[in-house]
Amino acid sequence: MDSITHTLTGAVIARAIDDEKIGNWKTIAGLAMGFFPDTDFILGLFNRQFYLEYHRDLTHSLLLIPFYALFFSWVFVKISKRNHFWSFYKICLPVLISHVLLDLLTSYGTMIFSPFFDHRFAWDLIFIIDLVFSGIIILPLLISFFFKRKAQWICRGSIIGLTIYILFCWFQHNQAIELTKVFAKNLNEKVVQVASLPQPASPFRWANYIETEDKVYQGFVDLLKEESSSSASREAERKFNYLLLFRRWGNLNNLYWPPEQVQYKPWEKFQDSPWVKKALTTDGVKFYYWFARFPVVSSVNSKDGRHRVEFVDIRFLVPNIRPHFIYHVEFDDSGKIQSEGFVGH
């Protein structure tokens, strides 16, 4: 979930709690605690790989959150000059927990049992930036400042609305997963895992993935579409969107198919190359495979004594959109690494 939504959600939770001993500091504490776990963005200023390795790590640990809540409650007592430690604690604790739970709703991955386990948990229900979700938070929060006597109940209503929306997304996700499983059953391959990941702009759009031992299949579905457009009409729609200066939106819109007509594209996980095998033994690629959900070898190029292998996580690969999180390793003829890291960084 984006940091702004996290921060405002913290304020909504704080204002929904029945405790007026700390006055306006209640909202301030909610805002601060809503943002705090994302302070690990500072890691990105030093190194991209370091950021990917530790983002949503220690600051998002459910095991450490009670201790963070204790520390910040003490801090707020000191700076506010209000000796109501437990009033601050009952705001800090639920807000910090809400931040982790909201991140779990996305498909990025959160290490909730850090520092003891580095598994990245993801529930795949909501896209990282969800305008509907943010709207359910922002509008009631703004209204609560104008109707202060009813602020507590307005914010509670916001939380109830969020819960209903999350349940709705859970239902849509189950439908998308069932479609994915149907396709997987028709494959004459051993299935490793299946997943349906949320997409931007609509809770009805999902990216479906089936990983087998040799391939990753990717298909995009819109659960509201009843029938696919013809090739001519889809091309006309693409041009129309281009004229409206929404080329990227138009390209995305054309990706999604009706449930019965989803087109799956297969991606080969590996290429038969000694340089791929060598790259897979490097620490950098091992890290990438820990981070990535559906990693594949996207290209192998040999030229002028240089041998470059590139990896991409299909989770972040959308046709007609510039791919993200591409990792490369380049060797010389002797097998010595000449360069490695994320492309473009």
Instruction: State the pLDDT at residue 240.
Output: 42
- Give per-residue pLDDT as tens, 230-247: 554 555 544 544 444 444
pLDDT value at 49 more than 80: no
Distances (CA, A) of 127 to 70, 159, 197, 321: 31, 18, 8, 17
pLDDT value at 226 more than 50: yes
- Give per-residue pLDDT as tens, 66-124: 999 999 999 999 999 999 999 999 999 999 999 999 999 999 999 999 999 999 999 99
The percent of residues in the chain predicted with pLDDT above 70, rounded, is 91
d(CA 132, CA 201): 8
> Does pTM top 0.85 for this prediction?
yes
> For residue 242, how many C-alpha atoms fall within 13 Å in the half-sphere facing its CB?
8
DSSP H/E element including 299? strand 295-303
d(CA 310, CA 343): 9
Instruction: State the pLDDT at residue 292.
Output: 93
- Give per-residue pLDDT as tens, 294-307: 999 999 999 989 99
**Contact between 145 and 151 (Cβ < 8 Å):** yes
Number of H helices, E strands in the chain: 11, 8
Q: Which residue has the higher pLDDT, 230 or 276?
A: 276
Side-by-side strand order, sheet with 191-198: 191-198, 205-212, 215-222, 264-268
- Mean pLDDT on 276-285: 94
Sequence letter at residue 305: G
d(CA 48, CA 324): 12
Q: Which of 163, 166, 127 is nearest to 16 (CA)?
A: 163
